[in-house]
Amino acid sequence: NSPARLARFYTGALGMTEQVRDDGHHLSYGGKDASLILRQAGADDSYQANPLDRYWKIGITVPNVDIAHHQLYRGGIEVSTPRQFQDIGYMCHLRDPEGFSIELLQHHFDTNRPVTAGEPDAPLGGGTRIGQVTLRTSDIAADLAFYRDQLGMKLLSIQPVETHGFALYFLAMTDEEPPISDLYALRNHEWLWQRPYTTLEFQHLNQSDDQVVLDGAVEPGFEGIVVSGTNLPGPHLADGSGGMVYLTN
């Protein structure tokens, strides 16, 4: 309910820089990756995360999750114990003061991390980026038709997590090609976590009765995505699930 107060968490605990503009508080790591924009909600209710919300989380990629975890824990922030989640990545999770989910994802799997990865004295160990913005979808075909076919994003990786009933799809505005052309290739995972840009991640829920829901117009939560590119239709469109996408050329 207070963008300024929430911004202090992202700058103080997560090492982002802040710019206050007319449209809100912009938070970033200053690279090619995405920025967060915090705005005042039109309602006084607190944000309540739901497992079927359209918006899930942001992922912050780091060279050494253990360093990042130690810093947060030492700072009194509740954060899960790092673990290797199947063949996806080495990660831990926390929530910001408003309840929004944040994932810290390591550049390498737990057994592949270089000995010298990370700087203990740098925020979260240095090398931080907003690596993913993660949305949920009940209709991946509709979202691919919009983000890949209409906006021109490239589908870089598909990562099934059958034990949990979902699959992860990663897209980005990039000309890069993954090392392995097979979208399901395991060897592409670590490469993906090391990209300097942000990927748009979709968690596709496999159960047909799990219908993703959008946040209301004024209630606290996720408002939309801003996509920058060339020759984009605009200034805004509804995506494959009805969410708002703002376009800038």
CATH of segment(s) 3-248: 3.10.180.10
User: Averaged over 144-159, what is the pLDDT?
Assistant: 94
Residue (of 173, 142, 175, 170) closest to 158 by Cα position: 170
Question: Each residue of 66-107: pLDDT tens digit?
Answer: 999 999 999 999 999 999 999 999 999 999 999 999 999 999
pTM of the model: 0.93
| Confidence at residue 216, expressed as pLDDT on a 0 to 100 scale | 55
Question: Each residue of 8-58: pLDDT tens digit?
Answer: 999 999 999 999 998 889 999 999 999 999 988 776 677 788 888 888 999
Rounded to whole angstroms, the maximal C-alpha distance in the chain is 48
Let me know if 192 is exposed, middle or buried by CB neighbors in 10 A (0-12, 13-18, 19+): buried
Reading the block at residue 56, the tokens are: 């899930």
| Residue given tokens 């990786």 in the structure block | 157
Non-local (6+) Cβ contacts of 183 within 8 A are: 155, 156, 157, 158
Domain residue spans of the chain: 3-248
Report percent pLDDT > 90 for the chain: 69
Note whether 194 and 61 are within 8 A (CB): yes
Note whether 3 and 42 are within 8 A (CB): no
